[in-house]
Copies of this chain bind each other. A is one copy, B any other.
């Protein structure tokens, strides 16, 4: 059986301090569950913080990089997948994740949420304003889940994994 890969998506340079702190805790919890963390792999924002959290708790981290090199890679990425595909790699991020957690919101994160819905991956929203979370949930009530804090997000991921068949 393949390992369980959980994606954490969120803003890069636009991430708030709260987004990054929460992403760090998400990374820790994901590692503690024995899941593998997948992010966009860059050395900024939510990607970097989640990867550092996962490493701090002994986890394994995959980074799906938009570039052909590791120059802008988070030092907490164990397994760099170099796509050189820019934002087209966002589609790989969500396809490869059993569940996608969006922590904070930027244009890139929104593209990943939308691609997840399009390709039938459950999404857990954390630190996403109601103004956008409400219409997203209306767009696909079955796939969009809303978490109030990190432990709640992890509970929702577990529920998604229990329900989901993954092929």
Contacts and interface: CB of A to CB of B under 8 A. Distances in A.
B96 A81 contact: yes
A85 interface: yes
Interface string A5-21: 10000000000000000
Size band of the interface chain A makes with B: 35 or more
A70 B2 contact: yes
Copies per complex? 4
Nearest to A89: B88
26 contacts: A2-B70, A2-B77, A2-B80, A5-B79, A5-B80, A62-B79, A62-B81, A68-B119, A69-B167, A71-B167, A81-B96, A83-B95, A84-B87, A84-B88, A85-B85, A85-B86, A87-B91, A87-B118, A88-B88, A105-B139, A107-B114, A107-B117, A107-B140, A110-B139, A111-B111, A132-B132
A3 interface: yes
A130 to B, nearest CB: 9
A95 B68 contact: yes
A163 interface: no
A81 B79 CA distance: 11
